[in-house]
Amino acid sequence: MAESREQFLYDRVYDLVVDQIRAGSLRPGDRLPSLRRMSRQLKVSIATVMQGYTNLEREGFISARPQSGFFVNTGRDKSARLPSATSPRAIARDIKLSAFVLELLRTSRRPGTAPLGPANPSNELLPVRALARIMHRVVTRAPAAAVDYMEPQGYAELRRQIAYRASATGMVVDPRQIIVTNGASEALAVALRSVTRPGDTVAVESPTYFVLLQLIEDLGLKAVEVPADPVNGLNLDALEDIASRFSLAALMCVANFNNPYGSLMPDAAKARLVEIANRRGFRLIEDDIYGDLHFGPYRPRPLMSFDDTGNVVLTSSFSKTLAPGYRVGWLVVDRGREDMLSRKHNASISSASATQMTVAEFLASGAYDRHLRGMRRALKQQVDRMRHELLEVLPEATRISQPQGGFVLWVELPRGVDSIALFNRCLEQGVNILPGAIFSPTRKFKNCIRINCGHPWSETVARGVEKLGALASESAT
Amino acid sequence: MAESREQFLYDRVYDLVVDQIRAGSLRPGDRLPSLRRMSRQLKVSIATVMQGYTNLEREGFISARPQSGFFVNTGRDKSARLPSATSPRAIARDIKLSAFVLELLRTSRRPGTAPLGPANPSNELLPVRALARIMHRVVTRAPAAAVDYMEPQGYAELRRQIAYRASATGMVVDPRQIIVTNGASEALAVALRSVTRPGDTVAVESPTYFVLLQLIEDLGLKAVEVPADPVNGLNLDALEDIASRFSLAALMCVANFNNPYGSLMPDAAKARLVEIANRRGFRLIEDDIYGDLHFGPYRPRPLMSFDDTGNVVLTSSFSKTLAPGYRVGWLVVDRGREDMLSRKHNASISSASATQMTVAEFLASGAYDRHLRGMRRALKQQVDRMRHELLEVLPEATRISQPQGGFVLWVELPRGVDSIALFNRCLEQGVNILPGAIFSPTRKFKNCIRINCGHPWSETVARGVEKLGALASESAT
């Protein structure tokens, strides 16, 4: 991905204004600072401010009035209309969801559909050419190693790089604590299988990532949902109550940018969650796959960084940030490491060699952080833009999450909208979305959908949003 | 791997003589046909016959006597001394093996050890440079596809190629019946998870591949061992008896070149096994990973080719023939396909894209069959040579399997030899072997070891065999 100093400056202008609109210090109808004043204030050129304002205008935040300057758009208030917090009933349930999800994902896999469904980053945001070059270099330099078995625990240099990066998130990780897996999914499967026995109960966020529910189903476990809210994630008082009534084997959660809410647990809540799990004696399995895609200035800390007892297992992968098709994920584990390594070995012996070698070399080159900076900026703009556009076209009572990282939006449509019917009608018209029903064991969230913002704004995306709007409005009446 | 018409001709001479020695039509002390006669008979040059005889001499089958010609070596009779058939007790058992196997495999992973342990083909036998070139071409041509998610079922072109090849084994396979997996291990895990519930009983061959036992353990299943012999594999009368006494959920077996026996079930036995499974109502999961590595002229048929009810699931991979480190395996399934696809999705979403694309292109180029021809010849010679050398250095009462394909030998040392102690002593001296105990749920086969013949004869291999011989002889006294 191309990246320039100039772009960085436009974005500062852009971010500053959006933040002020959100905070309420710039309100609809307010005039923006003049180009000259902004230029002095931020110590950037007038052309740079102009470009930033143009971007803001394109994204619908502001409008230029001839001879008067730029003004904040009236429009609707974009920050207040968040989805409701959830309050599922505390019941440990068997899950029957996998066949439904698979059928739905298969149906939706049609070339040319507007990509608002599965949470995939656009290839345009990924360093595809750099990776191709590195893969070529790696397999040419060591053709035998590229076809040979890698050790089950994973390529040592890759584990060293992952451990090194973990130190930036407030943890000290020994490369020997890391097990490389086929994506985060295998990491989650290995971790969950290791800490549960069939029939056990596992707590999940409400709503939660459907693959977690499918894994629970696959292993013959029961799920109990924990209430959550779209800003701060898990409701810990509710969790305390649930943990006192159920014998939980584990809680699986995405503390950093929950999928689908985009919520971010505050540090104090993370510390309390770790304490609750230790006190109540259940394991924490955290999926930190979106952690590097923060919109704020700092990389949020994983739950694991608050734990000094080995009770947390962290899973992650490069599927959202680098190369979904490489299937390079990992888990970080202290307590139970041998058992998890054994289960990884049984699941697939080891992970592919060439992809591990390529990622390790990419990380070692220092290119990853540079890449992430650009990707985060792009995703933030895409998420903002998508939220803005959706609010324009969706029915009046619609509520949309305001994620602080990642690239999905959770959209709560008016009650009465059947999102599975909407999903089917959208598909017929070439638009891919995900219905809310797959994000809960009980297929609730019937009036919700999840929207992928992994793709830059384009004709296809715009048309998709427009059609979704029209169809959702029909459904709501 | 380099391959020439000339080499092919030497090998015809070599194979003919070895076959005659085995069949008894050439006996110790017999004089071989003269160079001239053999040259006329096979319609090859005298130089070619000479090279074939030289190879036979190097392998220890024959000796030149000045002025008189070539004679079959006296030596020990190499074909009669097969290991015993097994007769395990019919008990359904929980398994506790995984931690032991993992520790053992980890201990044995030391650079520079003689590679007689894990069943890995030498890189020298694999088309490492051709694969590196193709991978470069593939990722350069389609850099975005290489980093993008592949569909969960696997790359369509790869599935088409695998289905096409299946027709050569007597089956008609629709590419939609194929699910690409991370090696055969994931295929086995997916299949086994799909057809069992925790607590179920699964039948296995005795001895059997340890990963099958580890999977059974991992899923909380019980295993019952079925007697087998080192030539024809499963004892079907014994299986009938076991199936009448236990409610079996499945039988997992390697009909084509069982690991570790190298046994090959005759076609009639395969047909009967399929019939028994259908009549008794248990599923057959066959691991056909060694099927392409036959020493005889024909590719043996998989069990699946005898089944028209959808009861058999076939698993395989390119790990033994092409690229262990690519982790490209697959399963072929009719009944229960949706469930297995769902479980594959839950296990790892999809398999890596670049490796699937590379293998598909290699297969489409026609290079695979050419490669296999050379590899089979090399493996046959390596297995013959290893068996010959082992019989020279191991204690008198040693019995060794005579596989008809694959590249492992099962070695039954004199009773009283403790093969785990032998494994440890070998490792200290830089030799890697596998103890027999990991090939059974009850850790029997205490006096057996498995020997990998995947590496061409070399100084390292020769030294390893010599040390193994010395240590085994010490243990036997």
What CATH number is associated with residue B190? Answer: 3.40.640.10
Whole-angstrom distance, CA of residue B273 vs CA of residue A336: 40
Q: Which two tokens stand for residue B59?
A: 């392998």
Instruction: Count A/B contacts: CB-CB distance under 8 Å.
Output: 214
What is the per-residue pLDDT across B360-371, written as a single tens digit (0 to 9) for each?
999 999 999 999
Neighbours of B413 (CB within 10 A): 25
Q: Is residue B276 part of a domain?
A: yes
Q: pTM score, two decimals?
A: 0.84
Instruction: State ipTM.
Output: 0.82
Residue of B nearest to A148 (CA): B325
Residues B385, B374: one domain? Answer: yes
Residues A44, A141: one domain? Answer: no
Q: Do A185 and B99 touch (CB under 8 A)?
A: no
pLDDT, position B110: 82
Residue A211 to chain B, least CA–CA distance (Å): 7
**SS3 track for B23-34:** HCCCCCCCECCC
List CB contacts (< 8 A) between B321 and chain A: none
What phi, psi does B83 have (nearest 5°)?
Answer: -65, 160
pLDDT, position B51: 82
Residues B352, B378: one domain? Answer: no
Structural domain that includes position B47: 5-72
Q: Do A99 and B129 touch (CB under 8 A)?
A: no
List CB contacts (< 8 A) between A324 and chain B: 147-149
Interface test with B, best of A102, A322, A330, A346 (most B CBs within 10 A): A346
Query: CATH code at B39?
Result: 1.10.10.10
Residues A416, A450: one domain? Answer: yes
pLDDT, position B59: 66
- B41 and B33 in contact (C-beta within 8 Å)? yes
Q: Is the pLDDT of residue A74 over 90?
A: no
Q: Is residue B109 part of a domain?
A: no
Q: Is the dihedral of CA A175, A180, A183, A186 positive or negative?
A: negative
Q: Do A186 and B347 touch (CB under 8 A)?
A: yes
List CB contacts (< 8 A) between B186 and chain A: 182, 347-348
Residue of B nearest to A190 (CA): B347
Residue A7 to chain B, least CA–CA distance (Å): 24
Question: Based on the structure, what is the number of domains in chain A?
Answer: 3
Q: Do B99 and A151 touch (CB under 8 A)?
A: no
Coil/strand/helix, residue B133: helix
Backbone region of residue B310 per phi and psi (left: phi > 0; alpha: psi in -120 to 50; beta: other values): left
Q: DSSP states of A373-419 as a string?
A: HHHHHHHHHHHHHHHHHHHHHS-TT-EE---SBSSEEEEEPPTT--H
List CB contacts (< 8 A) between B218 and chain A: 193, 342-343, 346-347
Domain final position from A31, A46, A72: A72
Residues B295, B423: one domain? Answer: no
List CB contacts (< 8 A) between A140 and chain B: 132, 136
Q: Is residue A20 part of a domain?
A: yes
b/e per residue B32-41 (b: at least 16 CB within 10 A): bbebeebbee
Which of A98, A147, A350 is nearest residue B342 as measured by Cβ atoms?
A98
pLDDT, position A7: 61
Residues A386, A301: one domain? Answer: no
Averaged pLDDT score across all residues of chain A? 92
Residue of A nearest to B155 (CA): A325
Q: Is residue A431 part of a domain?
A: yes
Least confident residue range of A21-25, A457-461, B171-175: A21-25
> DSSP character for A318?
S
Q: Do A324 and B189 touch (CB under 8 A)?
A: no
Give the percent of chain A with pLDDT over 70: 97
pLDDT, position B75: 60
Which of A128, A185, A354 is nearest residue B349 as measured by Cβ atoms?
A185
pLDDT, position B80: 45
Residue A38 to chain B, least CA–CA distance (Å): 40
Interface test with A, best of B101, B124, B342, B432 (most A CBs within 10 A): B342
Which of A147, A327, A342 is nearest residue B123 as measured by Cβ atoms?
A147
Coil/strand/helix, residue B140: helix
Q: Is the pLDDT of residue A77 over 70?
A: no
The gap from C-alpha A172 to its chain's centroid, in whole angstroms, comes to 24
**Helices B353-364 and B367-393 sit at what angle, rounded to 10 degrees?**
100
Residue A354 to chain B, least CA–CA distance (Å): 7
pLDDT, position A51: 82
Which of A98, A126, A343 is nearest residue B147 as measured by Cβ atoms?
A126
Residues A300, A220: one domain? Answer: yes
Q: Do B99 and A351 touch (CB under 8 A)?
A: no
**Helices A210-218 and B337-348 sit at what angle, rounded to 10 degrees?**
120
Query: CATH code at B465?
Result: 3.90.1150.10
Q: Is residue B355 part of a domain?
A: yes
Residues A408, A317: one domain? Answer: no
**Rg of chain A in Å (alpha carbons):** 23
Q: Do B143 and A152 touch (CB under 8 A)?
A: no
Q: CB under 8 Å to B464, separation ≥6 — which residues? A: B113, B114, B115, B116, B430, B431, B432
pLDDT, position A28: 83
Higher-scoring residue by pLDDT: B448, A27? B448
Which of B148, B341, B342 is nearest residue A123 as measured by Cβ atoms?
B148
Residues B301, B407: one domain? Answer: no
pLDDT, position A75: 60
b/e per residue A260-278 (b: at least 16 CB within 10 A): bbbbbbeeebbbbbbebbb
List CB contacts (< 8 A) between A339 and chain B: 99
pLDDT, position A80: 45
Residue B156 to chain A, least CA–CA distance (Å): 14
List CB contacts (< 8 A) between B338 and chain A: 99, 102
Q: Is the pLDDT of residue A174 over 50?
A: yes
Q: Is residue A437 part of a domain?
A: yes
pLDDT, position A85: 86
Q: Do A325 and B149 touch (CB under 8 A)?
A: yes
Q: Is the pLDDT of residue A8 over 80?
A: no
Q: Is residue A441 part of a domain?
A: yes
Residue B132 to chain A, least CA–CA distance (Å): 6
pLDDT, position A4: 52
Residues of chain B with pLDDT under 50: 1-3, 76-80
User: What stretches of A95-200 adopt beta strand conformation (E)?
Assistant: 114-115, 178-182
List CB contacts (< 8 A) between B108 and chain A: none
Q: Is residue A113 part of a domain?
A: no
Q: Is the pLDDT of residue A1 over 50?
A: no
The CA–CA distances, whole Å, from B416 to B208, B413, B419 equal 22, 8, 9
Residues A284, A415: one domain? Answer: no
Residues A326, A391: one domain? Answer: no
What phi, psi does A267 have (nearest 5°)?
Answer: -55, -40
**Rg of chain B in Å (alpha carbons):** 23
Least confident residue range of A63-72, A197-206, A290-299: A63-72
The gap from C-alpha B437 to its chain's centroid, in whole angstroms, comes to 18
Residues A223, A305: one domain? Answer: yes
